[in-house]
């Protein structure tokens, strides 16, 4: 592996980890809204529609972001691009790492495909051929599924970085305070609300999973 190949691999890893930083924030915000659904009933009652719109927007952002990690378009900073770079290096250890990564990705292929369908058919292209009820049944996803895929991308990036440069990117450490910050923010919103009155409109948001 020459110097340029090593630099290209490292740039792809850095781009993936930088993107993961934001993607994990989306997940942590979604989890804070899940908690708020159960813990902050007054806020949900008065601002349920606003909260649900945040919920939907975060999912759209997450579908778009996760979709890029598995994108096979040339020049995209993605796992397929990273695997091509490893194989082009002709380094036996890196080629073996690419093969092992492909096997790992196969184990979560069904979950990945559901996210990619949301990204391609809804967020990216808004396909006119979709049958909404059938699509929703076939592509059910949960916050835990997003966590699974983000952790997978992070593991792939760090395994490659460790093999190429001996270093890793501790994305989880970058985000360790964000979950508490998001939760505190929503709690403060409820505390700042005026006392309920008989005329308060009650809007219960949809179940969040």
Per-residue pLDDT of the chain (209 residues; tens, 9 = 90+): 888 999 999 999 999 999 999 999 999 999 888 887 777 777 777 777 888 899 999 999 999 999 999 999 988 999 999 999 999 999 999 999 999 999 999 999 999 999 999 998 888 887 767 777 788 788 889 999 999 999 999 999 999 999 999 998 888 777 878 888 887 877 777 777 765 544 444 444 455 55
Please report where in the chains the tokens 């093999």 appear, as a residue. Answer: 163
Q: How many degrees, rounded to 5, is the angle at CA 97 between CA 91 and CA 102?
A: 130
pLDDT at 209: 52
Please report where in the chains the tokens 């993107």 appear, as a residue. Answer: 19
pLDDT at 207: 52
Diameter of the chain measured on Cα atoms: 72
Q: Among the residues of 70-177, which ranges form H helices?
A: 79-88, 92-107, 109-117, 132-138, 143-165, 171-174
Q: Among the residues of 70-108, which ranges form H helices?
A: 79-88, 92-107
Cα 64 to Cα 141: distance, rounded to the nearest angstrom:
14
pLDDT at 203: 40
pLDDT at 196: 56
- Retrieve residue 201's tokens: 């409109």
Closest CA to 1 of 140, 163, 131: 163
């Amino acid at each position: 592996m020459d110097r340029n190949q090593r630099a290209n691999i490292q740039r792809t890893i850095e781009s993936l980890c930088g993107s993961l930083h934001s993607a994990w924030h989306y997940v942590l915000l979604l989890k804070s809204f899940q908690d708020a659904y159960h813990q902050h009933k007054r806020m949900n009652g008065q601002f349920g529609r606003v909260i649900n719109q945040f919920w939907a927007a975060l999912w759209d952002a997450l579908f778009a972001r996760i979709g890029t990690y598995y994108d096979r378009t040339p020049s995209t900073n993605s796992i397929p691009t990273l695997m091509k770079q490893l194989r082009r290096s002709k380094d036996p250890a890196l080629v073996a790492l690419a093969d092992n990564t492909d096997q790992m990705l196969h184990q979560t292929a069904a979950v990945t495909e559901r996210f990619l369908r949301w990204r391609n058919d809804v967020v990216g292209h808004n396909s006119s051929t979709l049958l909404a009820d059938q699509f929703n049944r076939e592509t059910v996803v949960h916050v835990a599924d997003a966590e699974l895929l983000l952790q997978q991308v992070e593991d792939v990036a760090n395994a490659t970085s460790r093999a190429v440069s001996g270093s890793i990117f501790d994305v989880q450490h970058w985000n360790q305070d964000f979950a508490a910050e998001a939760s505190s923010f929503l709690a403060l919103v409820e505390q700042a609300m005026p006392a309920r009155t008989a005329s308060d409109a009650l809007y219960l948001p949809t179940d969040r999973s």
